């Protein structure tokens, strides 16, 4: 992550959470910066592809989405939760795990039986 972006994120975090009011401020700031910086490359790649989606082949697009959802999104959620409350606001956030399937015809969530 560029020094300028790191500095800007530090300023934004400092404006939200005052160091003198939080005993773990430095640790939380470091984790916030880590999660934001670890997601930057994936965010940029996805943004680039979304701008030219009609010229990117489906397999590459799929790989980028897969990487974004498995790598960048968890980092962004972690950074968001370090910054503020991140609500689950859409029923579909439970994803395919909330739908019954052939191995789970009782309607229970997958992975939570």
CA angle 22-28-33, nearest 5°? 140
Which pLDDT value is given to residue 89?
80
* Widest Cα–Cα separation across the chain: 54
107, with CB counted inside 10 A (0-12, 13-18, 19+), is: exposed
d(CA 66, CA 60): 10
The reported pTM is: 0.78
Which pLDDT value is given to residue 88?
82
Per-residue pLDDT of the chain (113 residues; tens, 9 = 90+): 688 999 999 999 999 998 888 899 999 999 999 999 999 999 999 999 999 989 999 999 999 999 999 999 999 999 999 999 988 888 787 777 776 664 545 544 444 43
């Amino acid at each position: 992550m560029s020094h300028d972006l790191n500095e800007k994120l530090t300023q934004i975090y400092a404006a939200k959470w005052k160091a003198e009011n939080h005993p773990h401020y430095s640790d939380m700031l470091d984790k916030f910066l880590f999660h934001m910086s670890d997601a930057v490359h994936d965010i940029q790649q996805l943004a680039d592809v979304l701008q030219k989606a009609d010229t990117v082949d489906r397999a590459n697009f799929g790989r980028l989405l897969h990487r974004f959802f498995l790598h960048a999104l968890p980092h962004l959620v972690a950074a968001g939760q370090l910054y503020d409350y991140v609500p689950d606001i859409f029923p579909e956030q439970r994803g395919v795990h909330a739908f019954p399937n052939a191995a789970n015809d009782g309607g229970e969530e997958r992975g939570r039986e």
